[in-house]
Amino acid sequence: MTKIARAAAVLLTALIAAPAGAEISREDLKKALEANPDLVIAALKKADKTKLFEVVVEAQQEFQRKRQMDEARREETERENAIKNPLKPELAGAHFRGEKDAPISIVEYSDFQCPYCKQGAQNVDAVRKKYGKKVRVYFKNFPLNFHPQAMPAAQWFEAIALQNVDKAWAFHDALFENQGKLSEEYYKLLAKDLGIDVKKAEKDAKSEAVAKKIEADMVEAKGFGIEGTPAYLINGVPLRGAYPVEAFDKIISRLEKK
């Protein structure tokens, strides 16, 4: 009897020995297969490849659904905890637009080259239009190292803010609207169009002050467990990802009830 045949016999014996209507436990089957890996290989060779592929795809989709559900539950728990004990970002000196006394503050951690951040910026703009004077939005830099233009864009944004914060916000909007143009030449052209002192901005972009400002934003984000962009704190309640306006509505509604 070959090794594969013996392995098959082991499983067959287990099946026959099981009481009528009973199933072999997952653990028993796992042990049998681990002890006889050749059986798995033989089964794969004889399997209908199309059906096998369908099974693998279905299993992967089920795994993804479960992981997404687990992540959604984790984020919901995190948000509920933050409503009771909100995270506290440093807002002194942070760039914002909206009413300074607005009851709802949205702190955005973003990357100018991230496509999800572009969508996120559009969503936040829709939130601002919807809630008007009730919301103010802060922007903080979180340039990801695999986006080569993310850091230079952040540096220019901060450099322009040293001259004029309103024009820095206009620069912010233009970068997200024209992500495909991100380059040193485009930053200079845009700064010139905004009436910014380009030479000074170019120098400030490489300054230690700007570097420290960006580093402080990134350290803060990582301290809150933020690993990707975009991410938001809504009155200290985290929202991770380019969520639609409805997700902001849900948190704002909970905050207003509180």
Domains and CATH numbers, the chain: 1-46 (no CATH), 86-257 (3.40.30.10)
pLDDT at 80: 78
Q: What tokens does 4 get?
A: 């594969």
Per-residue pLDDT of the chain (258 residues; tens, 9 = 90+): 555 555 555 554 554 455 555 555 667 767 776 777 776 666 666 666 676 566 666 767 776 777 767 666 777 787 778 788 999 999 999 999 999 999 999 999 999 999 999 999 999 999 999 999 999 999 999 999 999 999 999 999 999 999 999 999 999 999 999 999 999 999 999 999 999 999 999 999 999 999 999 999 999 999 999 999 999 999 999 999 999 999 999 999 999 887
pLDDT at 54: 66
Q: Please give the backbone phi and psi of residue 42, each rounded to the nearest 5 degrees, phi first.
A: -65, -40
| Alpha carbons 138 and 100: distance in angstroms, whole number | 11
pLDDT at 15: 47
pLDDT tens-place string over residues 19-43: 555 555 667 767 776 777 776 666 6
- CA angle (228, 163, 128) in 5-degree steps: 50
- Residue 143 to residues 54, 63, 79, 150, Cα–Cα distance (Å): 39, 30, 24, 5
pLDDT at 221: 97
pLDDT tens-place string over residues 49-63: 676 566 666 767 776
pLDDT at 26: 66
